[in-house]
Structures are given as C-alpha cells and as structure tokens.
Amino acid sequence: MKKRKIPVKKKRAQKKSEPYYVSLQDPKDVYKCFLECTHGYLTSLKQFEKVKKLSIQKKELSSEFIKLVTQIASAVNTLNKKLPKHKISTKKFEKTIAQPKPVVQKVNTSRAMSELEKLEHELAEIESKLGNL
Amino acid sequence: MEKMPVFIKIDEYKDVLTLVQDLQSKSQEAKALLQKIVDLKNSEDTELESWRMGLEDIEAKIQTLTNALQDPKQ
C-alpha cells in the first residue's frame, strides 16, 4: 500500500490551529449568560410572530373600516339626492362658491383627478357650504 | 339666511328615514371597528415595547459574554 504524503502546507496549517485554552473566571455564569441570550432571541422571534399576527389583523380591520366608510359616504350621497334641493340666494354664498372654481378647472385640464384630489374637492365644497350657512 | 320649511314627499320621506337609520347603524359599526383597530394598535405597541426591552436585555448579556471571553483569567 502506498503511503499518502501530507502536503507541507497542510502540516503548517495543522500546527497553526493548535488548541488554545482560556480559563474563564466564572464558567457557570458564562454558560448561563449564553443560554439566556439564546432564550432572549427565541422570545424575540416569538414576539415577532405575535406582532405579525396583530399587524395582519389590523390591516384586515382597516380595510373593513374603509369599506364601511365608503358605504357611509355613498349613503350620505343618496340621502343628499333624496332631500329636496333649495337654492340659497345670498351674495356671500355666490362669492365663496366662485372662488374655488378656477382651481377645479385647472386640475381637470392638467390631469385626471386622483382619489385624494376628489375628496379634497368635495371637502372644500362642503366647507364652503357650511361656511355660508 | 331665513329658516324656511322644507316639504318632503311621503314615499321619499320613508326612504330618507330608512337611510338615516342605516347611516346611524353603519356609523356605530364604524365606531366599534375603529375601537378594535385602536385596541390592536395599543397591543401592537405594547408588544413592540417589550420586544425593544428584550433586545436591550440581550445586548447587555452579549456584552457580559464578550467581556468574559475577551478578558479571561491569566
């Protein structure tokens, strides 16, 4: 049988990686600390799962809430249509209504209204109406 | 502005009443839902806070470990 020669480099590496012993002042404490760290990390992971679950629940409830608010808004719109319309013929009302008009026209010509812009526009209209009452 | 009486047709009036009741129940539902969301947010905040404290604790322990390993008894 042929004897395999260990390469010189490997021999050197073996020499370099000689075990090195370190005495610890309180090994029991170190081990306890290590175990506590591991325990802490595992608890963190467990907490992460909890937070993830809560976050998912919150998202679901939020989308449900948005749906409900949209339903309320459409119901208010329907109610507005059902109620009789009467003109408010005060000068103050006409003046304040005339002011936001140019802004709306600008938005319409430049680009399509986003959902937020639509809501802002509706809010501005209602606020001006409320201001005139 | 003068206060003027407004007259509504009876059939429309019934619809309006139903709509108002519907609105009332929906807004109550929304209120309850919002409360649930607030509760969830609060418990999420509590969890995050305890998470932060746990990580601080781990950090301190790692420091102790590092000290013990870096300054061994000669």
A98 or B54, which is more confident: B54
The dihedrals phi and psi of A23, each to the nearest 5 degrees, come to -90, 130
- Asked whether the beta carbons of B69 and A22 are under 8 A apart, the reply is yes
**Long-range interactions of A30-35: CB distance < 8 A, separation 24+:** A30/B65, A30/B68, A30/B69, A33/B61, A33/B64, A33/B65, A33/B68, A34/B65
Tokens 């249509």, residue located: A81
| Confidence check: pLDDT of A107 > 50 | no
Show residues of chain B in contact with A90, CB under 8 Å: 1
What is the distance between the alpha carbons of residues B29 and A67, in angstroms, rounded to a whole number?
Answer: 11
Q: pLDDT tens for residues A61-94?
A: 999 999 999 999 999 998 888 887 766 555 554 5
Write out the two tokens for A111: 């680009």
pLDDT category of residue B40 using cuts at 50, 70 and 90:
very high
Residue of A21, A36, A70, A90 to mutate for B, most B C-beta atoms under 10 A: A36
Q: Can you give the pLDDT at residue A128?
A: 82
Chain B neighbours among A 35-74 (CB < 8 Å)? 36-37, 40-41, 43-44, 47-48, 50-51, 54-55, 57-58, 61-62, 64-65, 68-69, 71-72
A108 touches chain B (CB under 8 A): no
CA-nearest residue to B12 within chain A is A82
* Proportion of chain A above pLDDT 90, given as a percent: 23
Residue B22: CB atoms within 10 Å:
15
Instruction: Find the range with the poorest average confidence among A6-10, A20-24, A60-64, A76-80.
Output: A6-10
Q: Can you give the pLDDT at residue A109?
A: 46
- Asked whether the beta carbons of A116 and A108 are under 8 A apart, the reply is no
Q: pLDDT tens for residues B13-35?
A: 888 889 999 999 999 999 999 99
What is the distance between the alpha carbons of residues A35 and B12, in angstroms, rounded to a whole number?
Answer: 73
Q: Which of A15-24, A103-112, B42-51 has the highest mean pLDDT?
A: B42-51
Rg of chain A on CA atoms, in Å: 37
| Confidence check: pLDDT of A123 > 70 | yes
Q: Can you give the pLDDT at residue A96?
A: 52
- Asked whether the beta carbons of A65 and B27 are under 8 A apart, the reply is no
Q: Which of A23-27, A127-131, B63-67 has the highest mean pLDDT?
A: B63-67
Q: Can you give the pLDDT at residue A8?
A: 59
* Proportion of chain A above pLDDT 70, given as a percent: 67
Mean of the pLDDT values across residues A50-55?
92
